Structure 1
Amino acid sequence: MRTELRVLDPSVWDDWYGNLLLAFGGVPEAPEKSALWRELTECERSIGAWDGADIVGTASLYSFRLSVPGGGIVPAAGVTMVSVRATHRRRGVLRAMMRRQLDDIRAAGDEPLAVLTASEPDIYGRFGYGAATQTAYAEIDTAKVRLTVPEGTDGVRLRAVPLESAVEACEAVYARRVRARPGMLERTPGWERVPLLDPPGDRKGASPLRCVLAESGGGVTGYARFAVKPDWDLAGPKGEVVLRDLEALDPASYAALWRFLFDLDLTSVIRTGPRPVDDPWQLLVSDIRRCAVRLRDSLYVRLVNVGAALEARTYTTPVETVLEVTDPLCPWNEGRWRLSGDAKGASCERTDDSPDLRLGVRELGAAYLGGVPLTALAGAGRVQEAREGALTEATNAFATPVAPWLPHAF
């Protein structure tokens, strides 16, 4: 049996997307969700695997702009909508699509990175993607956990606004936050709709999504989007606050929004969506043990052009090192690279000099945004130090003052 890869014709998007939904369980999707994903699909960057008249595989790319250490914004290809029909597994369909994507990204020449979120963590490592960020989820027992807020919080005005009318103000706050934390995506037109998706069938008993704005100094300085899931037992109310997202430009606005969520009537739990692992609310609560924080892998990074990718970010401490990189899938990345950089910029060029560190492109992707220390990878046997001291130097240089974080999947 042979399959053929073809660029997606918009006229067959429904069949193509239907194959994707089938791979993820076959449950029908709310029309508003399918409509948004159709609008966002870049058909010219999407492919289908065809077996005769049947679509048996799907894969697509988004044209993203990703924040990287140092506050820079780098073009990145967002790998998405990957599926293989169950009847065609283990026949090389996935590998052919991943191979095609990497070749296409390289041929275009303007995206040194590819990124994705993985349905299953063990799938994409063999294609050079390293788990670069984690995200935190929490279930905060607000009946027993107190919140201590900093001075100035009482000067923040909170205002409940209709969800749709607050989009512009929320996006302005979000846009100012992107460069402050690696791993965040600039939201180009259309993507501001993703955090607003709220089909009734997905609410699981919760209310429609709500929005509260924080205002200070004459402008909007933060927002929280959330729902409330009512619940009662014989002892009284025990509702949940379901937090979709929260961003703020200063500590007072941030704390005021959290205090509002803690104080919502008839609720005793805040269940958060994805949050940064170093989210400051964890230092405002009286008892972190009653917050049930759990971590999950999030954004996977793959360097498509090693030199350009390493030059696109800055480094916390000065670094001068030779990296010997292995990359069987993208042989143009293999070999030795001299990385010279600091907080102002970097260069990364081919060299014949002796290596200081040896690592695979998957490990380089994991460390790229500063969330995974090279020392940890070395401890797992995935990075080898060839020059004494090089591992510590590189680890300190790649580190970032805030944890990288992806706000939402794609």
Structure 2
Amino acid sequence: MSAGRWAYTRLLWLAAPFIALRLAWRARRQPEYLRHVAERFGRYGEAPRSPVIWIHAVSVGETRAAAPLVEALVQRHPEHSILLTHMTPTGRETGRRLFGDRLLQAYLPYDYPFAVRRFLAHFRPTLGVLMETELWFNLIAGCRQARVPLYLVNARLSERSYRRYDRFRGLAAEALGALEGILAQTEADAGRLIRLGARRVEVVGNLKFDLTPPAAQLAQGQALRALFGSRRPVFLAASTREGEETRVLDAVARLHVPGLLTVIVPRHPQRFDEVATLVARRGLTLQRRSEARPIAPETQVVLGDSMGELFAYYAACDVAFVGGSLVPLGGQNLIEACAVGVPVLVGPHTFNFEEAAERAVAEGAALRVVDEAALAGAVAALLADAPRRRRMAEAGRAFAQRHRGAVERVLARISAGIG
């Protein structure tokens, strides 16, 4: 074990009590964190009987990004079991909703050497895929020792993340150099990874462009729109993060659009009640999506307190703001909204999707707003201009279609490692 990884592992052991406390703390809001706890330490049930292709998707966004790759692997390698691992209950639930019982699901263990050994001995994967930027130093070293080819796929590294990893350049370079291959989203991502010491880096594009809006969810969107009221203008704030709903509601307060219905879908389900309370404190009339009843004419805000319906929400609105971007959190995935064909608004903070956001704006599929006042102005202008909304919708679909193809490029690269 290198000196850097020894120090990292020692810190993990020192942090063990705090990791357990954090798990218990998070379980206060999401009791699911206390389910399958043994898996987090490398203890699993019955071992799979068929060879395993393993994909790690830490949470919701990575799980959704992995979906087209998972589907392609299921079709092309029916003799293999697909194992999808996560770190969060919401990621695990997203995988269950997307794939049902067609594949195996488990938590990836914490990055202790003993837990990594148990995980690899139990599942014995033929090949492993880490989605986006998941550098687990002992896991990567364990796969190298067990001769499990491990790829970093859909890899991205913002300038902010690069600076964080650069403080531990030796350890990062050791991990990146031990990977079988790194398949980056963009040239900028590849460049930053190479500067950190990565080798065998290729640019293959973003898997999220290959995710086709499910027909069932598009139909569900039509049903949602009927519940909302087909003649009411609908503004959607999707995947909002903590501190952002206040800004969205400030923007809505500036609007004077007759009959406007605002739909807010928080990114994390544990915040549903918090957002409902925030809306109530504003004196606004609220209904929850979970009530599954028509929206009353006097209702001003709908809380999207459901899981796995984001495409439906996009299909049911006139204008969509994609969250995580009015606050400095890097933004959520705007590609899904573009693919559905809805005019998209994003805030100034989109470093998690910088190239996609810049291209969407340049190609007329999205508009960038700098604050809540600009958000209000953009929503008002778009709701008053149906031809402009149609042009942006068409540009969004074309933008999403134009950049597809990453799944085939990834498959071509990793197929040699699949028996």
What's the TM-score once normalised by structure 1's chain length? 0.30
**Greater relative contact order, per chain length (Cα 8 Å cut-off, separation 6+):** 1
Q: Which of the pair is proportionally richer in helix? A: 2
